Amino acid sequence: MLPVPTHLHTCAADASLDDELSAAFRGAAGAGADALVVVLPAEARPSRELVPVIAALARATPAVSALALVHGSPTLSFLTSSLALQLPGVRVRSAATVETAGL
């Protein structure tokens, strides 16, 4: 099996998270990547408000079939579970580090 082209995006701490997520999906589309790893800033407090934002971006970027969100927050697994329900064609996971993102 060939490796899936993966795009890594590290969100800037001083930028809007919505803007950074948009940039991540644009970058993945521009790179022709099938997988996207998004590293959220350590200062970010991921909340359920991100779910519809990420779901809309993923639907608008159909080439992305795998998504990993990276952050140390324990609530991230709840968010990725919610995303997985909304995006049945996308493999969604959470990880505490890029090394454990496993796409």
How far, in Å, CA of 82 to CA of 41, rounded?
Answer: 21
Rounded Cα gap, residues 93 and 37, in angstroms: 10
In the prediction, which pLDDT does 5 show?
85
Residue 3 is predicted with a pLDDT of 56
pLDDT band at 66 (very low <50, low <70, confident <90, very high): very high
pLDDT of residue 1: 43
Map out the domains of the chain as residue ranges: 6-100
- Taking only the tens place, the pLDDT of each residue in 27-63 is 999 999 999 999 999 999 999 999 999 999 999 999 9
Full-model pTM = 0.92
Check: CB of residue 71 under 8 Å from CB of residue 38: no
Q: What is the pLDDT of residues 70-96, one digit of tens each?
A: 999 988 999 999 999 999 999 999 999
Q: Which residues of 33-55 are buried (b: 16+ CB within 10 A; e: fewer)?
A: bbbbbbbbeeebebeeebbeebb
Which ranges constitute the DSSP H helices of 3-49? 17-31
Model confidence at 103, pLDDT cuts 50, 70, 90, reads low
